[in-house]
Amino acid sequence: MSLFRRSNSGDVARERLRIVLMQDRISLAPQLMERMKEDLVDVISRYVDVDRGKIEVEWRRTGGEPALVANIPVRSVKRGVASDDRAS
């Protein structure tokens, strides 16, 4: 990023603000992250058997956009999931 880049600084401000507020709001609500984690696991558990104790959900910033990255270790896949999928 050049100091002399001819981009409108107002746009830069808007983008930086958007991202910083996303991070502020999520870090102020750790219980919200916990709830989201639980909900994610509930949905995924319908299809595969996951290890609830080892789930990690975190914010990562790759490039410009912040991303939610979830690491959910799978113990086993339930039998019948694949055929259900094909049927629907």
Residue 9 makes contact with another protein by CB under 8 A: yes
Residue 2 makes contact with another protein by CB under 8 A: no
Structure tokens at 30: 């750790």
| DSSP code string of 65-80 | SEEEEEE--EEEE-TT
Residue 88 makes contact with another protein by CB under 8 A: no
Residue 11 makes contact with another protein by CB under 8 A: yes
Cross-strand partners of 50: 74
Binder among 4, 5, 8, 30 for another protein (CB under 8 A): 8
Q: Which alpha helices (H) appear in 5-80, and where do they start and end?
A: 9-27, 30-45
Q: Which residues contact another protein (rule: CB under 8 A)?
A: 8-11, 13-14, 16-18, 20-21, 24-25, 28
